[in-house]
Amino acid sequence: MIEVVAALITDSDKFMICQRPAHKARGLLWEFVGGKVEKGETKEQALIRECREELDVTLSVGDVFMDVVHEYPDLTIHLTVFNAKISEGIPRKIEHADIRWITRSEIPDYEFCPADVEILEKIREVLP
């Protein structure tokens, strides 16, 4: 099982989603920014590093929003999603094909990675 972290980055009633690059697994699907936890890192450190690498922003990481275990055909992940805010920088598309800020009512307009389905259900329940 691979430990993965992701950020639920919110700004008032919107949250950030990122579109995976076409050449990667699950290409062009939408996801929350994040990535694998490397050896010797805490989950929070991994999330801060990934957001610097992928978006060129510094995050302020909050509490855990939720945990999900998902089995893809090629791997199983334990995904920990943290509440987060951007403390420094403006998001840039370094890794992703696109970046969007959406409201919970716009969720059906995007095709997300399967591991994110449970997260999106909870977002519908708790975000304004």
Per-residue model confidence as pLDDT tens digits over 22-52: 988 888 999 999 999 999 999 999 999 999 9
pTM of the model: 0.94
| Start-to-end C-alpha separation, the chain | 33
Q: What is the DSSP letter of 128?
A: -
Q: Which CATH number characterizes residue 106's domain?
A: 3.90.79.10
| 18 contact partners, CB below 8 Å, separation of at least 6 | 30, 31, 32, 33, 54, 55, 95, 96, 98, 99, 100
Whether 127 has a pLDDT exceeding 90, the answer reads: no
Identify the domain containing residue 68 by its residue range: 2-126
Whether the CB-CB separation of 95 and 62 falls below 8 Å is answered with no
Tally of domains in the chain: 1
Q: What is the pLDDT of residue 27?
A: 84
